[in-house]
Amino acid sequence: MPRFQCHCGLIAEKSVRIWSCSARITAAHSDYTAMPSLCWQMKRAVRNGMNAVEVSKWIANCMGSILDRRGSGRTVARRLIRPCALAVLLVANGAVAQSDEPLTLNPDVPLTYTVQAGDTLWDISTLFLRDPWRWRELWSSNPQVDNPHLIYPGDTLSLRWEAGEPRLGRTDEGVIKLSPSMRASPLDLAIPAIPRQQIGPFLRQHRVAEVIELDRAPYIVAGEAGRLISGVGDTVYGKGAWQTARSYRLVRRAEKLKDPISGEGLGIFVTDVGEARLQNSPSEEGMAALTGAEMREEIRIGDRLLPVTESAVESTYQPQAPETTIDGAYVIAVAGGVTQIGALDIVVINRGARESLRVGDVLAIDHAGERVQDSVTGKQVRLPDKQAGVLMVFSVYERASFGLVLEAKRPLAVGDKLRNP
């Protein structure tokens, strides 16, 4: 039978508990004495990984039976519908993300491994697992310890088996530590999921902005003494609807993002060229003088100004498969204007939070098959797509995301397809 992911199963079981509580109340009515038994069956189904369709049938039959009755039963039924429906949705959603296959270890996998400085979770997961995005299923953490999912350089990891399934946990002189313990290491010393040095600078220099956000942002109208370009220490003049911030990021439109299939606008890929600070309060007409501060490129007329916001780079997430099926996903842009994409390059994806994509989700990259001449029909035919790499999502916007290519078996390109691994 398919197994649900642990977290999905727990959430679904909580929904079942809500329903079970309501059922115990209705059991006082002689017409609903079968409800507690049905709830017990649902709990057992969730624990045993029963198919979501079967669980849905149970709920539907129960609800239909109650709705057929009259009197107070109709009121009770209405109160039960919402938690029942929630349980169906949670169980159904949980069924998507979990693989039916048992965890498969790599050949010659080590029984112990000492974490080194510079390691990432992806490195360790690929060392042990054939499918490294299933790290959560392999890692055995102690929930009584603060931040049990964090791993630090110097930790020794040991492989063991529980009920025939491999589990990886910390060891202390060969004994796995399952008791609570104190750890004084700061969070930023824990090994990240993917290299910080790759994603940190990128996120400080790139973002996806909404068209309306850019259109409403102040912009540079002139440089001092009629200069067309300006730099650090120069005075520039901006105009627009200013916010309360004193410091602003100077951003420049790099590319308008569109869905390659539907043509829907997904936002504007912008680059950060530097920072400017207000010299004084804006005038009633919205004019203000600014001083160029940190610069990556020269300031140009037309550059937009967005308030400086502090955003920490999230790096403590874990590799995971998407919780839903990701359809119609493509690589739609790449930073730096390169034409061929390889390992550790950063790409833009046409899927985001709207499609339930999350930070840490791993996607397989399929390179489009080549077009060749069919010698029999004389027509052009396309060869099947081939898996060419793997990427991990590290920043999610509403309709687009950034991903880091972790593996590339061959050169990749804009237009390559993405799918669940």
**β-sheet bridge partners, residue 267:** 257
Query: How many other CB atoms sit within 10 Å of the CB of residue 327?
Result: 10
The predicted-structure confidence for 280-293, as pLDDT tens digits, reads as follows 999 989 999 999 98
Q: What is the mean pLDDT of residues 34-49?
A: 43
Q: Is 234 helix (H, G, I), strand (E, B) or coil?
A: coil
Q: CATH number of the domain that 411 lies in?
A: 2.40.10.410
Residue 208 and residue 162 share a domain = no
Cα–Cα distance, 312 to 394 (Å, whole number) = 12
Overall pTM surpassing 0.75 (yes/no): no
The predicted-structure confidence for 144-198, as pLDDT tens digits, reads as follows 455 557 888 999 999 999 888 899 988 753 344 444 444 444 556 788 888 877 7
Residue 139 and residue 85 share a domain = no
296 pLDDT tier (thresholds 50, 70, 90): confident
Is 310's pLDDT higher than 70? Answer: no
Cα–Cα distance, 56 to 51 (Å, whole number) = 9
Q: How far is CA 129 from the centre of its chain?
A: 21
Residue 165 and residue 232 share a domain = no
Tokens found for residue 229: 């370009």
Q: Which residue in 109, 110, 113, 54 sits closest to 87, CA to CA?
A: 54
Is 60's pLDDT higher than 80? Answer: no
Q: What is the mean pLDDT of residues 303-322?
A: 79
Residue 153 sits in which domain range?
Answer: 112-179
**Domain for residue 323, yes or no?**
no
Cα–Cα distance, 242 to 282 (Å, whole number) = 8
**Domain for residue 93, yes or no?**
yes
Question: Domain ends where: 56, 73, 97?
Answer: 97
Non-local (6+) Cβ contacts of 166 within 8 A are 103, 105, 128, 138, 159, 160
Tokens found for residue 331: 């690589």
6-26 vs 72-97: helix crossing angle, rounded to 10:
170
Domain count of the fold of the chain: 4
**Domain for residue 239, yes or no?**
yes
Non-local (6+) Cβ contacts of 190 within 8 A are 147, 150, 151, 152, 316
Cα–Cα distance, 374 to 143 (Å, whole number) = 59
